[in-house]
Amino acid sequence: MRDFVSHEMAARGLERHCDSWMTGFCPEFSRALGARGWVGMTFPREFGGAQVSSEQRYVVIEELLAAGAPVAAHWFADRQVGPALLRHGTPAQQADHLPAIARGERYFSIGMSEPDSGSDLASIRTRAEKVDSSWRLSGAKVWTSHAHVAHYALVLARTAPVDRDNRHAGLSQFLIDLNSPGVEVRPIVSLDGGHHFNEVTFDDVALAEDALLGAPGRGWAQVMQELALERSGPERFLSTMPLLRCLIERAGTPDLVELGVLLAQLRSIRAMSLEVAQALGRGETPNVESAVVKDLGTQFEGRIVGLVRASSGVAPDLDSDDELARLLAEAVLRSPDRTLRGGTNEILRGIVARELVMS
């Protein structure tokens, strides 16, 4: 795996980056991974997958992240949409999407968050109404990564009136072709000048009946399964690993006490993350455990930034030819985002607290 990543990145003139799973969009690299069987690894062979364990997939994505490889093109399809299709998709949906995902050729964005909804996902206002044998979708999604270059979006929408006693009821998920009439994608430019976030609006978009993923009204339960995948993977603590590697390569021995603390934390967070991956492989939904991994992981990533700033003597500079200065600038500018995406740390701690009270 390491030989492959090193060779492919050198051959394509690719640099390592922090947050490569969010910002590193390279279809050619994704297709090269797909050709080796390293996308959709846990999918059944009939859908182009390697039908291997979640632990084997974990090894591959861990190496890609640590190397800062450009995996954003296929990332959301491989991490969330593929497993959702395997659990809830119809045979026709599975046959259409899964082989293309496994080849590294079909890209998805995720439509959960909405303008003015904050972290209250149950308050979404995007609606899908049944019209004869089809659906009509209207609303807006925000922070939708790579919607401007993705083929499809997996969108959560309300399909029944709000039940004040159960706000999570009446939600459903849809597979939306982003080239459909009525879909508009507007860019959201980040602090570093990059563009991977978007706002996507749906103006009375016509959807076929088979755009629905799973059963009507089961969207909340399905999203909770997907969020467990989103919050617990190694991307939640390895986004700044290229920066730490660069520091060690440059300095040889940064502050050894602080480095030792960081590596001990890394080992424990990784153990928790791997345990969650195994639970997900068994079909479980470890929401609390994944919340802990995400919370601790984002704190760990921030400590790496602090170590580099304190011990390197290098100033962050996005335009610098000095790799350490560039990686540090990437990590600093994206630090606020890490504790927000996938659920804010405060919301995650609320999930953990409720579980502690209930138990």
Tokens of 76: 């959301």
Radius of gyration of the chain (CA): 20
Closest to 340 in 3D by CA, of 289, 301, 310: 301
> Distance between alpha carbon 143 and the CA centroid of its chain, in Å?
12
Which residues does residue 198 pair with via DSSP β-bridges, in sequence order?
A: 187
The residues near 116 (Cβ < 8 Å, ≥ 6 apart) are none
Catalytic choice (230, 235, 289, 301): 230
Q: CA 301, CA 150: separation in Å to the nearest integer?
A: 27
Q: Answer yes or no: are the C-beta atoms of 205 and 174 closer than 8 Å.
A: no
Q: CB-side exposure of 320: number of CA atoms within 13 Å? A: 14
Q: What is the identity of the amino acid at 106?
A: R
| 230 catalytic residue (yes or no) | yes
Q: CA 343, CA 6: separation in Å to the nearest integer?
A: 33
Tokens of 161: 């009136």
Q: Integer distance in angstroms from the first to the last C-alpha of the chain?
A: 42
Q: Which positions are annotated as active-site residues?
A: 230
